[in-house]
């Protein structure tokens, strides 16, 4: 259990570092997704993410 | 219109492309997910919003991502290390296991206006910026197109989806 928590903590820290430093995930930058995301504001991305979270 | 045609052509080409032939063993895969569980949760249902749920994700998509993490094409310090220790068979087994799990539902966390804005973009895209609708590649229920390698996105944590979209370099980091 302890190693699972430690693993989560490490990953969360990495996520935070990525977010703060602007590190990017290059494989996500495919042409299609770049075009889609380019046209969306931060508010729209948040709204879309909330909609997708409830989609089943 | 032009972007819609390009999107449809993209889907068509991807649909006819040879998908990764997965020959994973889900049972063996389950035994190999002890490390994954720490972040991705039991049966691939992460309880931490910033870590993606993997349950129900397309097998071919999962294998491809693990290969990209291993090669370094996709960058994430944690996942580069984890995937680096996996063989091709491990990847196929793990992907087989997660692909047959059921994704958990999320509790509602947004108001009706926000959800409607999200729905409109998902279904119809945006005319003014010629943004292609998500539904084109991810389907009406967000299940993706497994044979084309397009990921399932329904039920994913909003924080993860949002972060992923925002991390696309050309928008925020150029």
pTM reported for the whole predicted model: 0.78
Compute the Cα dihedral for B74, B153, B157, A34 and give only its sign: positive
Which residues neighbour A41 within 8 Å (Cβ) at sequence distance 6 or greater? Answer: none
The confidence band for A27, taking pLDDT boundaries of 50, 70 and 90, is low
- CB within 8 Å: B156 and A27: no
ipTM: 0.83
- CB within 8 Å: B110 and A50: yes
Mean pLDDT of B162-173: 68
B106-151 tens-digit pLDDT: 987 899 999 999 999 999 999 999 999 999 999 999 999 988 889 9
Contact A25, B164 (CB under 8 A): yes
- CB within 8 Å: B121 and A47: yes
Q: Which of B7, B38, B51 to mutate to test the interface with A (most CBs of A within 10 A)?
A: B38
A39-56 tens-digit pLDDT: 999 999 999 999 999 998
DSSP string spanning B7-26? HHHHHHHHHHSPPP-----H
Q: Which residue of A has its CA nearest to B11?
A: A32
């Amino acid at each position: 259990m302890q190693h699972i928590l430690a693993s989560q903590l490490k990953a969360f820290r990495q996520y935070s570092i990525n977010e703060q430093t602007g590190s990017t995930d290059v494989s996500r930058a495919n042409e299609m997704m770049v075009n889609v995301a380019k046209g969306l504001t931060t508010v729209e991305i948040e709204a879309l993410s909330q909609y997708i979270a409830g989609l089943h | 219109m032009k972007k819609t045609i390009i999107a449809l052509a993209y889907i068509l080409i991807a649909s006819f492309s040879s998908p990764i032939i997965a020959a994973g063993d889900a049972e063996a895969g389950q035994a190999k997910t002890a490390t994954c569980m720490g972040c991705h949760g039991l049966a691939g249902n992460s309880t931490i919003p910033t870590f993606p749920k993997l349950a129900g994700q397309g097998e071919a998509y999962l294998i491809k991502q693990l290969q990209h993490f291993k090669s370094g094409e996709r960058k994430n310090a944690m996942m580069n290390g984890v995937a680096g220790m996996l063989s091709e068979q491990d990847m196929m087994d793990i992907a087989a296991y997660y692909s047959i799990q059921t994704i958990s539902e999320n509790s509602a966390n947004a108001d009706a206006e926000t959800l409607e804005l999200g729905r409109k973009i998902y279904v119809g895209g945006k005319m003014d910026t010629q943004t292609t609708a998500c539904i084109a590649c991810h389907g009406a229920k967000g299940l993706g197109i497994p044979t084309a390698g397009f990921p399932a996105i329904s039920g994913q944590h909003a924080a993860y989806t949002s972060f992923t979209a925002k991390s696309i370099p050309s928008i925020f980091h150029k």
